[in-house]
Amino acid sequence: MVNNLRGKRCIFSFLTVLAIFCGFAGIVKGAESVAWSQHTNEYFSISYPSNWMVVDTPVENMPSIEKMVIFSDMNARASINVIVEDISAYNFSLEDYLELSEENLELVSDIMTPINTYNNGNAIKLNVNGVDAYKIIYGLNLSNQGVSLEVKNMQILFIKNKKAYVVTYQALNDQFDTFSAYADKAIESFRFTD
């Protein structure tokens, strides 16, 4: 079935690119010492540091994307974003979606930026609040107008009710471990509301 869907890569490539460039946010205190707020919408709820901005991004021009929310602040070091994609036309399993996500990481690497720390098949299967998911971690070298940044990404992929949920944590490479407690706490708080 997945072989028949290779032509649909552009939709999933867009999702991957979007997750890569959604921005960064700064964190200066440990996750436990920061006040947390709850964001709830028609698809999910998630906790985030209260001093972060929440951007509920318009998705009118993104055909399969139903919801995109970015959590960030102005220090430009880390971010968490959640994308909800309608995949009802494809009847994907979680494994199918993971395979396409991995293929899209390769495609993005070939087209625009080197992905230097991910090998297909290295996804980790996990369970988040009773829901099966996959975690993938990869590094990127992003360049813009002569400035080069090395960033690290962690994506958690879920499928529920014919929708794909992608939670992406992104941070500057040298600060990824420092801020990962924020991402872990946010992901642990993630719940479906539909």
Domains along the chain with CATH numbers = 2-192 (3.40.1000.10)
pLDDT at 77: 77
Q: Which helix (H) or strand (E) holds 181?
A: helix 176-189
Q: What is the DSSP letter of 121?
A: T
CA dihedral 18, 24, 29, 35 (to 10 degrees): -50
pLDDT at 112: 62
Regions of the chain with pLDDT less than 70: 1-32, 73-74, 76, 109-119
pLDDT at 76: 66
69-111 per-position pLDDT tens digit: 999 866 767 899 999 999 999 989 999 999 999 888 877 766 6
pLDDT at 162: 94
pTM of this structure: 0.81
pLDDT at 28: 43
